[in-house]
């Protein structure tokens, strides 16, 4: 089989992997190859099929079509071999609340059959890595949400897995805790192969070596953040915030830039080339009082918008 | 021995929950004291420490069953269980990890109840080993039932089912009054279940009956223990593979 031949290059592969739930196709013939040591992000809105892909790759859900491989081990034929080399941090925080942080890590070391010495060494290392050493003896139920999430990821790491699955690792965290989590994940770059699912564009942008954009169970684009942004045709975006902006003024603007659209308190213009001066002069001539202007680079949200016609958080 | 790590976690989760300890240890002791005091006032033989010990121990196991069922049902819906399913743990590991900790708690319950009964005037004429065997069989029987309920029901449903079993054990097991006083169809139902057989057998052995004398009751207990434990193990095994 192909994936066996490629196992020296790829840590994770899927071959036309499909999962149907009755009439609903949650994952539709997805083909992926994640290189060893890579942080690879599956980016898509809720319900796009990201978690279903992770569940199939972790042997929690059988594909209804196609298959996948982790380090060359078929997920359907060799689940035990797969389970011995992966770690997962599920979307919900997966910890035991009545155990302390250290005991939670010892639980995982135990189920992976690690010796006492190995357990102690690994647990101390991981607590340090995830900045939890000071809270090692505190019950997990008493930790903050951000710390619980860090502990959940620590539990995925403590068995020293070759491949790590992080399903929405910063979901529900405040911006500060999210930044801190990004730093922890970025610290693993090159050391582990990581498949990260997220619906936060900035997260994929900040962390991932490559990104696959997924929508309605299908991969609709794949590449580095830069490659994906280069794909969009409208490379310039100008946002004008203004008072007295009339529908007539926007209609007039559309004659010059057909993709101009009204946004809250202003107008957004997308085009291959934008003339700042021309737009400002036109709006002034229409009696519009401009409050601010912004010319921005395309974001992954813009890529998603162009590819699917909708915003990622819709 | 991978199951030992999860078994240890399950034991800690249970004993660190204060309400579990109250129900598993405190409540049986309160019942024993209460009925002993009642017996003293009424001069009723039914409520002596010797007669109450088997009832209180097996009634205590019904709380253990309920707590184990609720813990398993809650765990099954948790992200931690999902994580554990992605580890090299096999079905047999889950079955061992969700039964052995409760057997340990049951042994502790038996010891505490024996100690309390001794303080209240327990008289042992028969073989204490047979009494212990009957208790352990009933513990395994009810833990199996707990595993079955926890495997197929949600946490709320397990709570309701567990409460129903506690009531069945109390009334149809003849814990607080002999089943012959209930009579009729309820006596028949009571003796179609293992609880009354186990309580009768343990009471009789404490009062001097031999293994041979209680062999029929013991067979009922062994049969139900095998059925409930296998049922619980199969259901949990199936859930971990589903």
Q: Which residue from A minimizes the CA distance to B240?
A: A60
Same domain, A105 and A246: no
Has residue B39 got a pLDDT over 90? no
Same domain, A180 and A254: no
Which of A230, A264, A288 is at the close of a domain?
A230
Interface of A with B (CB under 8 A): 58-60, 80, 83-84, 86, 88-96, 98-99, 103, 106-113, 152, 155-156, 159
* 8 A C-beta contact, residue A50 and residue A214: yes
Give Cβ neighbours of residue A65 (< 8 Å, ≥ 6 apart).
A16, A17, A18, A19, A20, A29
Contact A111 B85 (CB under 8 A): no
Same domain, A135 and A248: no
* 8 A C-beta contact, residue B1 and residue B29: no
Contact A111 B6 (CB under 8 A): yes
What pLDDT was estimated at residue A1? 38
What pLDDT was estimated at residue A201? 82
Domain membership of residue A266 as a residue range: 233-297
Same domain, A124 and A219: yes
What pLDDT was estimated at residue A234? 62
Q: Which of A46-55, A90-99, B45-54 has the lowest mean pLDDT?
A: B45-54
For residue A268, tell me if it sits in a domain: yes
For residue A312, tell me if it sits in a domain: no
| Portion of chain A with pLDDT greater than 90, in percent | 51
CATH number for the domain including A265?
A: 3.30.70.980
Size of interface A-B (CB pairs under 8 A): 72
What pLDDT was estimated at residue A3? 41
Same domain, A181 and A85: yes
Same domain, A151 and A122: yes
Same domain, A251 and A199: no
Mean pLDDT of the residues in chain B = 92
pLDDT digits (tens, 9 = 90+) for B79-116: 999 999 999 999 999 999 999 999 999 999 999 999 99
pLDDT digits (tens, 9 = 90+) for A243-273: 888 888 888 888 888 888 888 888 988 887 8
pLDDT band at residue A230 using 50, 70 and 90 as cut-offs:
confident
Bigger pLDDT: A299 vs B33: B33
pLDDT band at residue A41 using 50, 70 and 90 as cut-offs:
very high
Which of A230, A258, A275 is at the close of a domain?
A230
pLDDT digits (tens, 9 = 90+) for B147-188: 999 999 999 999 999 999 999 898 888 888 888 887 788 899
Same domain, A177 and A107: yes
For residue A310, tell me if it sits in a domain: no
B78 interfacial to chain A (CB closer than 8 Å): yes
For residue A68, tell me if it sits in a domain: yes
Same domain, A261 and A145: no
Contact B83 A106 (CB under 8 A): no
**CB-based burial, A22-31: b 16+ in 10 Å, e otherwise:** eeebbbbebe
Locate all alpha helices (DSSP H) within B77-206, ordered by sequence: 79-85, 91-97, 100-119, 128-152, 155-172, 179-182, 184-192, 194-206
Same domain, A113 and A205: yes
Instruction: Count how many domains chain A has.
Output: 2
Contact B79 A91 (CB under 8 A): yes
What does R_g of chain A's alpha carbons equal in angstroms? 23
For residue A278, tell me if it sits in a domain: yes
What pLDDT was estimated at residue A207? 92
For residue A127, tell me if it sits in a domain: yes
Same domain, A126 and A243: no
Task: Report the alpha-carbon angle A282-A286-A289, nearest 5.
Answer: 90
CATH number for the domain including A84?
A: 3.40.50.300
* Best to test chain A binding among B88, B98, B241 (most A CBs inside 10 Å): B88
For residue A308, tell me if it sits in a domain: no
Bigger pLDDT: A141 vs B242: A141
Sign of CA dihedral A88, A90, A93, A97: negative
Contact A84 B88 (CB under 8 A): yes
pLDDT band at residue A101 using 50, 70 and 90 as cut-offs:
very high
């Amino acid at each position: 089989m192909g994936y066996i031949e490629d196992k020296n290059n790829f840590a994770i592969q899927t071959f036309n992997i499909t999962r149907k739930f009755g009439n609903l196709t949650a994952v539709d013939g997805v083909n992926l190859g994640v290189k060893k040591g890579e942080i690879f992000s599956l980016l898509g809105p809720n319900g796009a099929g990201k978690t279903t892909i992770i569940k199939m790759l972790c042997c929690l859900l059988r594909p209804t079509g196609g298959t996948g491989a982790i380090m060359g081990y078929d997920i359907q034929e060799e689940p035990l071999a797969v389970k011995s080399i992966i770690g997962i941090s599920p979307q919900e925080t997966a910890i035991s609340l009545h155990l302390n942080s250290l005991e939670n890590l010892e639980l995982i070391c135990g189920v992976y059959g690690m010796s006492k010495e190995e357990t102690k060494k690994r647990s101390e290392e991981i607590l340090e890595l995830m900045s939890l050493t000071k809270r090692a003896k505190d019950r997990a139920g008493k930790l903050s949400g951000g710390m619980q999430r860090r502990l959940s990821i620590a539990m995925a790491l403590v068995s020293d897995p070759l491949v790590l699955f992080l399903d929405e690792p910063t979901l529900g965290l405040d911006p500060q805790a999210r930044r801190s989590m990004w730093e922890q994940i970025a610290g693993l770059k090159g050391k582990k192969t990581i498949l990260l699912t997220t619906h936060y564009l900035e997260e994929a942008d900040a962390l991932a070596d490559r990104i696959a954009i997924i929508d309605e169970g299908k991969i609709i684009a794949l590449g580095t953040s830069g490659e994906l942004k280069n794909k969009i045709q409208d490379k310039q975006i100008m946002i004008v915030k203004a008072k007295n902006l009339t529908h007539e003024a926007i209609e007039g603007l559309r004659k010059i830039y057909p993709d101009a659209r009204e946004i809250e308190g202003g107008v957004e213009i997308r085009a291959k080339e934008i003339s700042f001066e021309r737009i400002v002069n036109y709006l002034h001539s229409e009696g519009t009082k401009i409050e601010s202007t912004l010319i921005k680079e395309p974001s992954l949200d813009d890529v998603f918008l162009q590819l699917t016609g909708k915003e990622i958080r819709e | 021995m991978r199951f030992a790590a999860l078994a240890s976690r399950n034991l800690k989760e249970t004993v660190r929950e204060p309400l579990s300890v109250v129900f598993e240890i405190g409540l049986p002791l309160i019942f024993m004291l209460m009925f002993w005091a009642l017996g003293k006032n009424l001069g009723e033989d039914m409520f002596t420490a010797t007669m109450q010990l088997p009832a209180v121990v097996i009634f205590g196991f019904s709380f253990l069953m309920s707590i184990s069922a609720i813990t398993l049902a809650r765990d099954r819906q948790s992200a931690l269980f999902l994580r554990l399913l992605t580890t090299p743990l096999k079905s047999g590991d889950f079955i061992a990890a969700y039964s052995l900790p409760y057997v340990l708690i049951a042994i502790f319950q038996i010891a505490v109840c024996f100690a309390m009964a001794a303080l209240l005037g327990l008289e042992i004429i028969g073989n204490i080993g047979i009494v212990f065997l009957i208790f352990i069989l009933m513990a395994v029987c009810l833990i199996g039932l707990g595993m079955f309920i926890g495997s197929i029901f949600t946490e709320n449903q397990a709570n309701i089912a567990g409460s129903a079993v506690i009531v069945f054990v109390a009334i149809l097991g003849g814990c607080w009054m002999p089943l012959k006083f209930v009579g009729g169809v309820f006596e028949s139902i009571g003796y179609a279940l293992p609880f009354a057989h186990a309580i009768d057998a343990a009471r009789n052995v404490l009062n001097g009956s031999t293994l041979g004398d209680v062999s029929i009751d013991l067979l009922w207990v062994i049969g139900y223990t095998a059925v409930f434990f296998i049922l619980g193990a199969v259901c949990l095994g199936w859930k971990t593979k589903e």
